Amino acid sequence: MRIDDAADAYATHLRDVRRLSPATVRAYRSDLADLSATAGAAELGDVDLEQLREWLWRATKRGDAKSTIARRTAAARGFFAWASEAGLIAADPSLRLVAPKRGRSLPFVATADALTELLDRLATRAGEGDPAALRDHAVLELLYGTGVRVSELCGLDLDDLDGERRTVRVMGKGAKERVVPFGGAAARALDAYLVRGRPVLLARRDDSPGEQAVLLGTRGSRLGARAAYDIVARTLGPAARATVGPHALRHSAATHLLDGGADLRTVQELLGHASLGTTQIYTHVSSERLAATYRLAHPRA
């Protein structure tokens, strides 16, 4: 079987059986397409360990990030393990393929004061009644107030909202559903958008009166993740003096929860992390912030 044909079947397996997110499936399929183009073998059974190592070495020489190379290693190992179990190859050539150690960089976290000031400015703009401003305010308040992923936010339907309990029901990675609470500020921004912003945006799309998406684009259809990223980058970027997207608000929400006394397990459940180890990076962020404050404030630091 040709590598590309097997890779297509593997992508289907990742999507339909393992229920990985579309973004992860696309990334793995792209990695395998690159492998097919550079491994020097068209047939799946002709790929050996040395060709896989050569493929990763080329990526290193090209300047790819360690995280990218680690993902490519994971894509190759998962792919060949699946092919071996399916009987497509006699032996798995990736068993001794080792990924480089990933340097762990701390995510950008905005201060609570900076976010409060920014969100207050958005609330003032939204108060003028512009439907896009009302939506943008709701987007940022919900991202920061819940810590959900941008794909989870954009996937919200009206039935997923519980205004009385102030919760949203989201579908996370691996099709795992969870219910996440949000506070009064997010509730007010959301209510204002639903009453004064969403109907105006929905009216711009005559062919979809039954649209159930909570967040709408300027033409009345569901707001996409890319558009939501642009909203956050445009709003938060100048304050951060860098290009930052929705994940910065997720990082900030998690860190501020820990700073405020929330336990790690609760934060894990709110964020929808499968592993507690993923959540633990935020303890490092909090420690770094504590150390930085100490160095600035203590006379004998």
Task: Note if 149 is an active site residue.
Answer: yes
Known catalytic membership, residue 247:
yes
Give the number of C-alpha atoms closer than 13 A to the C-alpha of residue 196, restricted to the C-beta side.
Answer: 17
Decide if 173 is catalytic.
Answer: yes
Q: How far apart are CA 2 and CA 109, in angstroms?
A: 45
Of the candidates 29, 135, 256, 273, the residue annotated as catalytic is 273
Selected catalytic residue, list 149, 198, 251, 256: 149
- Chain length of the chain: 301
Alpha-carbon span 172 to 24, nearest angstrom: 13
* Catalytic choice (169, 196, 222, 247): 247
**Active-site entry in 15, 166, 173, 289:** 173
Q: Are 24 and 14 in contact (CB under 8 A)?
A: yes
User: By C-alpha distance, which of 112, 113, 121 is closest to 254?
Assistant: 112
298's tokens: 């203590």
Whether the CB-CB separation of 66 and 102 falls below 8 Å is answered with yes
CA 266/CA 175 separation, integer angstroms:
20
HEC secondary structure over 152-212: HHHCCEHHHEECCCCEEEEECHHHCEEEEECCHHHHHHHHHHHHHHHHHHHCCCCCCCCCC
Residue 53 appears among annotated catalytic residues: no
From 29, 250, 251, 256, active-site residue: 250
Nearest C-alpha neighbor of 54 from the set 66, 65, 41, 71: 41
Q: Catalytic site residue 273?
A: yes
Side-chain half-sphere exposure of 253, counting CA atoms within 13 A: 25
Catalytic residues: 149, 173, 247, 250, 273, 282
